[in-house]
Amino acid sequence: MVSAHSNKVMFITGAGKRIGAFLAQAAHDDGYNLVLHYRTSEQQTQALANQLNAIRPKSCLCLQADFANKTDFSQQIATIQHYYGRLDVLINNASEFYATDLSSLQVKQYDNLFNSNVKGALFLTTACLPLLKIHRGCIINMVDIHADKPLKNYPVYSMAKAANKMMVKALAKELAPKIRVNGIAPGYIKTPIDGQMDKKIIQRIALKRKGNMQNIYQTVKFILVNDYLTGEIIKIDGGRSLNM
């Protein structure tokens, strides 16, 4: 049986670990060909690509880029054009996430968080536009529920995700009707190291449980098949934002 997505190409940034790697595996299972971006996780990303290429030859391509230092992605786009000849979906998943104490905040921390969450996604998106327009492609940004209400001790990260959220809305307006742009705002998806924090957060979630990465991919699929959806950020948080 041939998948409906057997010729379609999905580009996932930050694809070597965590949500990015799960999205890659799930999309590959659904028949997508993949472009897997990494910054420093070459070993994990290449291992994932090797695993998926063993299942379906020439279905995965790895590309490296450092969003902190790069705004010209023409070489990466040329590689995609040469390898696949098309691009249908861009998922801007790459992100840095760490606390920033305002009393010791450094410019390099600000730059790092905004480069990874905003600048890199913006300039990569603009580089992808010519390929995306050909097949009326779709862009999905991984935002965060803290784009609306800041996470304590993470002011710069929260600010960067707020900018990422506005990017979704602004680009949806700029790129319609040929390209749709939407976002996904995850809540409590990963298990934290602090078990006490685990219980504290779960008590604030309406559904009283953590989400999983399958919930994220289910939303990706919904966005991709709903061709009358653009400019929206969908919260996948089990109702946690109701109690923030």
Q: Which residue in this structure is represented by tokens 């990260």?
A: 157
Q: For residue 180, is it within any domain?
A: yes
Q: For residue 24, is it within any domain?
A: yes
CB 20 within 8 Å of CB 94:
yes
Cα separation, 69 vs 75, whole angstroms: 15
* Domain span including residue 183: 9-238
Task: Identify any residues that bridge with 33 across adjacent strands, giving them in sequence order.
Answer: 9
- Region for 228 from its dihedrals, namely left if φ exceeds 0, alpha if ψ lies in -120 to 50, beta otherwise: alpha
CB 40 within 8 Å of CB 118:
no
Cα separation, 43 vs 47, whole angstroms: 6
CATH at 193: 3.40.50.720
Q: For residue 112, is it within any domain?
A: yes
Q: For residue 197, is it within any domain?
A: yes
Q: For residue 87, is it within any domain?
A: yes
Q: For residue 78, is it within any domain?
A: yes
Domain count, the chain: 1
Give the global pTM. Answer: 0.94
> pLDDT in tens for each of the 244 residues of the chain?
345 566 899 999 999 999 999 999 999 999 999 999 999 999 999 999 999 999 999 999 999 999 888 789 999 999 999 999 999 999 999 999 999 999 999 999 999 999 999 999 999 999 999 999 999 999 999 999 999 999 999 999 999 999 999 999 999 999 999 999 999 999 998 754 455 667 888 999 999 999 999 999 999 999 999 999 999 999 999 999 998 8
Angle at 19 between CA 45 and CA 154, to 5 degrees: 115
Q: For residue 244, is it within any domain?
A: no
* CA terminus-to-terminus distance, the chain: 46
CB 182 within 8 Å of CB 222:
no
- Residue 30: how many CB atoms within 10 A of its CB? 17
Q: For residue 111, is it within any domain?
A: yes
